[in-house]
Structure 1
Amino acid sequence: MTIRAKRFTPEVLLSAPRRSAGLPNLDASKVLYTTSTYNFEKHEGTSEVRVLDVEAQETSLVTGAKGSSEPQWLDDKTILLLHEQKDGTTHVKVGPADNFSNNGYVAGSIQGPVGNLKLVPIGDNTYGVAVTGKAQPNGDLFNPEKASKPRTTGRLYTSLFVRHWDHYVTENRNAIFLGTLYRENNKFKLSKLVNALKNSGLESPIDPFGGSDNFDISIHGLVFTAKDPALNPATHTKTNIYLSASKNFWLDIVNGLPQFFEVPIYNFAGASSSPVWDNEGKSIAFLSMKTDGYESDKNQLFIIPDYVSPGWVQHMFPGSTGKGDWDRSPQSITWGDKTLYLTAEKEGRMSLFAVETNALQDGINSKSPTLVVNGGSINSVKVLESGALFLSSSTLIDNSLYSLIPSDYKTKTLQGKDAYNLPESDVPVNSKPGELFATYVSSNSRSGSSFGLSRRQVDEIRWPGATPNVDVHAWVVKPSSFDPDKKYPLAYLIHGGPQGAWTDSWSTRWNPAIFAEQGYVVVCPNPTGSTGYGQDFVDAIAGQWGGLPYEDLVNGFEYIQDNLSYVDTQRAVALGASYGGYAVNWIQGHDLGRKFKALVTHDGVFSMTSQLASEELYFPFHDLGGPLWSNASSWAEWDPSRFLDNWATPHLIIHSELDYRLTMNEGLSAFNVLQTKGVPSQFLTFPDENHWVLKPENSLMWHEVVLDWINSNVGLPKYTENKDENDVENAN
């Protein structure tokens, strides 16, 4: 039994099963994954580990036990997963995929909460194991359930990074723990784990978002990225690549890890990321940025051909200036047998590119990566033994899609929709035949139909940007009941970052289809500063926060007004979060603000000087051309609070108390001004949310308040007064 929505509502969005990236077995006949669901009637969430039988298109439950996560294949029939206990400890459980609940057993117990599980076969039915968790100053794993409670709530700091994202920084730091999983008496057992970073002064994964992409293991060692310990993380983005390796690495760790080696990356002083071993455990690939203090600099590809000589580092596609011949910024790396696969944004999509490994030997003379897949947004790439690729992705109308690219994809020359071998609704918008040859494996939402959505709702437009000869790209999402002869109010959604982008991907926080199904035509522009359109376009926003991007948005509004006959720009609303919230505050103080019936700012900037309360000071220091005391004119030039005289459009302000990136005062200040000036306004806050609203019940309230606000200002029924209890029906 599945759930089919008659209408895509916030309840449908937030209660729909959220499926993880798929983990295929050797031939992708079975796919292991986790799924989580929230029930608004019971007010509780559930999570499950499941296996998809691809041929039968049926799924079976591995376990629904609370606390089970991160399943991994040990072989085609056996899986391993983590199971967190009530006392904070973690059981490592092993069992058959088809009868795990009855025949699963505990292979070992870890004395605290851990995650980011990685396995590597090292021979003789033995695996190297890596997990991450918080380590105490003495190197032991921290268990918050067993920790003694402090007698005082005071905290004393003597350097920057007092707090980060949504928590105060404590003495406990992220660390990587290593061990082995071996067979004994026909069962697997977990060895004692060793803190690989003990006494190193290093932290990995990097707080707050670092995960399994911050480190990797092979038969020969550990590679990871960590903040440069000599630099303050609040004012610097520099991270280094560290390597600990030896011929008998997993035997050596019993007596202590081989010494760390800091990989030299000459003339690159920015953030290094995504270190990945090849399949033989010989070579390592990673990404690095050139500029310290700039978190959105272009990632460039580096290769260590042989771990035995880690000082030999090849810079791929450097160009004559070192800025890089390839004008993409890769986000992930996957090694194949003869090919290196990279994901990177390309004009509103997270696409897949390939580099032949024989080209890597040519170093600076190697060709730039070639495009393999240009559609949707890929979030995981797995290479099968056959050389085929298993992809996990999403789109604007599908929250989880699994597909296969055959190993001989380079020889495919099919034309039309047959070139994709996908359901017609999943063929990427405006893609050209030959860009993708994929075998459809599974869609969590039946290509969006479970949500009442289809690809026909999605379109793209472009208009002349503020920079000469540079166009601005935008996604357009229309109602599922769209009639081109009717007019619909405009919802203008402005993304955060500012170095970010609206991509052809699913979101449970800012989902354009939610607004479209209320009766809006939704336009999601990618103005100056957006990623995926070349690094020059990204860099151009520095020192221009309210300049070029604002002009792009003005031009976009005029283009919509003149060219989209089905859009009623007399009934328009603008919404944005983070930098998007800044942009809405800036719009409120300028001429474009008078074009809208209502505005919504979520966790946006009100006053530039308040950015000094943010944790990552390098961000405003870079984008505004230096600290306030050395470049006050730039900080003042782009300050939304300088234009409060013009604030007049009805405005909803949202700001949560655990947002330490943009502090609560930003939202309160904006609301206080609106109320004092007599501008119709509302203020929504959550004491237990950070820069994002993540808890399902809070998120539902967020959607209800936002939709009621904009609907009432453009003449649509309030969402909370127009709910249909029969919006969701059961379907086989």
Structure 2
Amino acid sequence: MRQANLFMMSAAMLLAACGGTKDAGKTDQVLIEKSDIKIEGKRMTPEALWAMGRIGGLAVSPDGKKIAYTVAYYSVPENKSNREVFVMNADGSDNRQITRTPYQENEVTWIKGGTKLVFLSNDNGSSQLYEMNPDGSGRKQLTNYDGDIEGYSISPDGKKLLFISQVKTKESTADKHPDLPKATGIIITDLMYKHWDEWVTTAPHPFVADFDGNGISNIVDILEGEPYESPMKPWGGIEQLAWNATSDKVAYTCRKKTGLEYAISTNSDIYVYDLNTKKTDNITEENKGYDTNPQYSPDGKYIAWQSMERDGYEADLNRLFIMNLETGEKRFVSKAFESNVDAFIWGNDAKTIYFTGVWHGETQIYSLDLTNDSVKAITSGMYDYEGVALFGDKLIAKRHSMSMGDEIYAVALDGSATQLTQENKHIYDQLEMGKVEGRWMKTTDGKDMLTWVIYPPQFDPNKKYPTLLFCEGGPQSPVSQFWSYRWNFQIMAANDYIIVAPNRRGLPGFGVEWNEQISGDYGGQCMKDYFTAIDEMAKESYVDKDRLGCVGASFGGFSVYWLAGHHDKRFKAFIAHDGIFNMEMQYLETEEKWFANWDMGGAYWEKQNPVAQRTFANSPHLFVDKWDTPILCIHGEKDFRILANQAMAAFDAAVMRGVPAELLIYPDENHWVLKPQNGVLWQRTFFEWLDKWLKSNKQ
């Protein structure tokens, strides 16, 4: 259930925005441009959040003099978005928007020595490859493939195209009953019939084609006739496939399992497909956990990938491995970093790898010296970096914090960073942000826990403020310096709330032991950590301990439901989004059974399994008799990770208990809230509920 890296999530959100069908691209196209919003009162609002441009992928020209990148713009009235392409000089000057269309231009790449840009767009209804000049002129469609191209990579020699497209893997009802073409029933015979937010009828496959710069030919499905996924759903993209240096081999990530076998296992592997012999080799067969995201070294001598050791444990330490292609020797090279390698790139010398990873609530850029496997932090500060690329003798990356969304930075190897874009300066200039600080707190078992505290703008320590405990999801997703367009701490602070966001047990960035402690202990130490954070802050004179709220999503929603039955009247209001209410039902309802087996400790019918029995004995629904505090339950009906009936059951239980409750259901949203008007509704409902119970009796 742990969130995948941000690249994968961004790709999934982008695909949803593209529509994913040929008809979707043709209907109701509206040009959405950069917002000129005017904000009163210098406080963050939902409308201000949705007015912000969102920077996507970036690409550096071969000569290192230009940077191309994309920005998505959203319209609340239209309830839509579109994405545009920008090009700027390497120092950030002469920044120009080179597309202005109602379509979804994305995944920009330089080709032909930097004289052309290629990109994906849905001009004619399906996602296809296009070409244009670096000034936006000369736009030309290069492919007309019968299906959406969801990602692509051009071979190093420029002569071949690797791309991703969906193939049908299951017999449909209409296939079986051709006389019932309008029947909507789905016949299911095995597990993994649903995943994230879709009924599974197709799988993404990698295709290779000849590419002459004007189109593609001789298309080959690397997984032809096989029912497997590459890249892996729900978030995998082109980062899970890679060309070798000589353009004659493709490495790809694949879990060659289906049905029940797929549902209980994380055992994916790195396969290498030879374009000449058509043979495939598994180079990670001995490892039983996730193996993902291969990358060949620039000199062609090595391949690197990310690897988790244990099958079924999706939050295992994400390690970096390399293999010598001549000798076959494999090496775990990131041992010196006791946290996850989130994403990586090779240095030009093939002796260095740069990667991002979270440590102590910040995601920094690190260098790994392959001569001795030593790790050195390049960046520092209260930021998160992502999307790192080589940039001459520097790096380029996106950076965000709890006080600012993504902007592009040039990062020197001494760690100094230069901001290159100012995408949302016109909005930030109208806002006053609250102060963010980190506090280390002593937990009940004597450990040190980092807790982020976010204060309202114009904070006055002589006043008393309502205060919110934020419960993170995952359960192994870090409370780093993330910027969210839904769980945005600055909009909470702008509404005069103090936010307390602890890096409780189970979060990465504090060592393996801290991260792994939560598995099989959902109602245990992690809950004590929550109490430590809010109780410690409640000692402050400016925290009104009579106006405390508790909010969270996913595992954070589980936490809210659990705390509602154990908080000893600490809190006056709860909000749970997409949370687990009944653990027994969650075990059966969730699609990725490996997660339930590992984190819950097993099935609830395993009466002799003490870990599983402890987990299910801590199911929030068993403590409803102790609920006494107003609660808002939010859920999306397309959420197949945690089904919406969990929120409905929690709401029904509260009402039947006489506890004030409200239910916000989205028929068309998944585990996230992606549509603009739904996002604004979420924020309005969120604050209406909190204000009603935490402010109405004390102003």
For 1:419, the equivalent position in structure 2 comes to: none
2:257 match: 229
Cα pair 1:265 1:313 within 8 Å, conserved? no
Give the residue type in structure 1 aligned to 2:76.
F
* Residue identity matched to 2:239: D
| Equivalent position of 2:24 in the other structure | none
State the partner residue of 1:288.
307
TM-fit CA distance, 1:96: 0.9
The yes-or-no answer on 1:623 pairing with 2:599 is yes
Structure 1 residues 716 and 4 mapped into 2: Cα distance closer, same or farther (>3 Å)? farther
Decide whether the 8 Å contact of 1:402 with 1:442 is kept in 2: yes
| 176 and 149 in structure 1: CA distance in 2 versus 1, 3 angstrom threshold | farther
Going from structure 1 to structure 2, the CA distance change for 1:275 and 1:55 (only over 3 Å counts) comes to closer
TM-score for both structures, normalised by structure 2: 0.87
Residue 377 of structure 1 is matched in structure 2 by 384
Q: 1:327 aligns with which of 318, 338, 347?
A: 338
Contact 1:220 1:281 in 2 (8 A): no
Partner deviation per Cα, 1:6-49 (whole Å, 9 max, x = no partner): 32111111221111133222455432111121223454433212
Contact 1:4 1:452 (8 Å CA) reproduced: no
Query: Alpha-carbon deviation of 1:56?
Result: 6.3
Match of 2:134 in 1: 97
Q: Is the 8 A contact 2:57 2:108 kept in 1?
A: no
| Contact preservation (8 Å) 1:130, 1:177 | yes
AA of the residue aligned to 2:401: T
* CA positional deviation for 1:628: 1.6
Please, what TM-score do these two structures have when normalized by structure 1?
0.83
Q: CA deviation at 1:301?
A: 1.6
- 1:349-498 correspondence to structure 2 within 5 Å: 349-359=362-372, 366-367=373-374, 369-375=375-381, 376-384=383-391, 386-406=392-412, 409=413, 412=414, 436-446=415-425, 449-450=428-429, 452-454=431-433, 457-468=435-446, 470-498=447-475
Superposed, 1:538-577 pairs within 5 Å as 538-562=515-539, 564-577=540-553
Residues 438-497 of structure 1: CA distance to partner in whole angstroms, max 9, x if unpaired? 22322423398346144x6111112112333x2111111122222233222102111101
Q: Would the aligned equivalents of 1:603 and 1:656 in 2 still touch at CA under 8 Å?
A: yes
How far did 1:504 drift? 0.5
Aligned pair partner of 1:134 in 148, 166, 185: 166
Match of 1:600 among 556, 564, 575: 575
Quote the Cα distance in structure 2 between the aligned partners of 1:580 and 1:91: 39
Structure 2 matches for 1:28-107, cutoff 5 A?
28-55=64-91, 57-65=93-101, 66-74=103-111, 75-88=113-126, 90-100=127-137, 103-107=138-142
Provide the aligned C-alpha RMSD in A: 2.5
Residue 21 (structure 1) aligns with:
57
SS of structure 1 residue aligned to 2:552: strand
User: Match for 1:199 among 221, 225, 233?
Assistant: 225
3-state SS of 1:155 partner: coil
Distance 1:277 1:574 in 2: 46
Q: Of 273, 282, 300, which aligns to 1:244? A: 273
Distance 1:614 1:644, change over 3 A: same
Which residue of structure 1 aligns with residue 155 of structure 2?
Answer: 120
Q: Distance in 1 between matches of 2:411 and 2:341?
A: 20
Structure 1 counterpart of 2:110, one-letter code:
W
Question: Is the alpha carbon distance of 1:518 and 1:148 closer, same or farther for their aligned partners in structure 2, counting shifts above 3 Å?
Answer: farther
Deviations 1:557-589 (A, max 9, x none): 111012x33222221111011100110111100
Q: 1:568 and 1:57 mapped to 2: Cα distance?
A: 48
State the alpha-carbon separation in 2 of the partners of residues 73 and 97 from structure 1: 9
Look up the SS of the partner of 1:527 in the other structure.
coil
2:330 corresponding residue in structure 1 = 313
Q: Tell whether the 8 Å contact from 1:235 to 1:293 is kept in structure 2 after alignment.
A: yes
Determine the C-alpha separation between the residues in 2 that align with 1:111 and 1:314. Answer: 41
Candidates 259, 277, 281, aligned match of 1:261: 281
Q: What letter matches 1:588 in structure 2?
A: A
* 8 Å contact from structure 1 (residues 332, 344) kept in 2: yes
Contact 2:500 2:534 in 1 (8 A): no
Q: 1:624/1:137 Cα in 2 relative to 1: closer, same or farther (>3 Å)?
A: closer
> 1:4 offset after TM fit, Å?
5.9
Pick closer, same or farther for the CA change 1:135–1:370 going to 2, 3 Å. same
Give, in angstroms, the shift of residue 191 of structure 1. Answer: 3.0
Letter in 1 for 2:262: P
Look up the equivalent residue of 2:154 and give its one-letter code. L
Deviation at 1:400, TM superposition (A): 1.4
Relative to structure 2, which stretch is displaced further, 65-74 or 530-539?
65-74
Amino acid at match of 2:120: L
- Consecutive unaligned residues of structure 2, counting only runs of 5 or more, are 1-33, 172-177
Is the aligned partner of 1:506 residue 2:483?
Answer: yes
Aligned residues: 644
Equivalent residue letter for 1:401: E
> Match for 1:656 among 636, 641, 648?
636
Distance 1:662 1:99, change over 3 A: closer
1:585 is paired with a residue of what secondary structure?
helix
Query: What corresponds to 2:675 in structure 1?
Result: 695
Deviations 1:411-463 (A, max 9, x none): x5xxxxxxxxxxxxxxxxxxxxxxx3222322423398346144x61111121
Other-structure match for 1:714:
694
Paired position in structure 2 for 1:143: none
- Deviates further, 333-342 or 194-203: 194-203
Q: 2: distance between equivalents of 1:400 and 1:31?
A: 16
Amino acid of the structure 2 residue aligned with 1:31 = I
Shift in alpha-carbon separation, 1:56–1:545, aligned structure 2, 3 A: closer
| 2:554 equivalent to 1:578 | yes
Q: C-alpha distance in 1, partners of 2:62/2:404?
A: 26
**Within the alignment, does 1:162 sit opposite 2:193 as a pair?**
yes
Residue 717 to residue 514, structure 1, CA distance change in 2 (3 Å)? farther
The residue that corresponds to 2:3 in the other structure is none
Give the Cα separation in 2 of the matches to 1:148 and 1:380.
50
Question: CA deviation digits over 1:487-533, x for unaligned, max 9?
Answer: 22102111101111211121112111110000111111110011111
Name the % identity: 28
2:308 touches 2:319 (CA, 8 Å); kept in 1? yes
For 1:132, give the aligned amino acid: I
Secondary structure, aligned partner of 2:479: coil
Q: 2:399 corresponds to which letter in structure 1?
A: S
For the residues of structure 2 that align with 1:374 and 1:35, how far apart are their CA atoms?
Answer: 26
Separation (CA, whole Å) in 2 of partners of 1:649 and 1:599: 7
Contact 2:92–2:421 (Cα < 8 Å) also in 1: no
CA distance in 2, matches of 1:515, 1:703: 9
Name which of 352, 355, 370 aligns with 1:342. 355
2:205 to 175, 181, 192: 175
AA at the equivalent of 1:301: L
Q: Counterpart of 1:264 in 2: which secondary structure?
A: coil
Q: 1: CA distance between counterparts of 2:565 and 2:679? A: 29
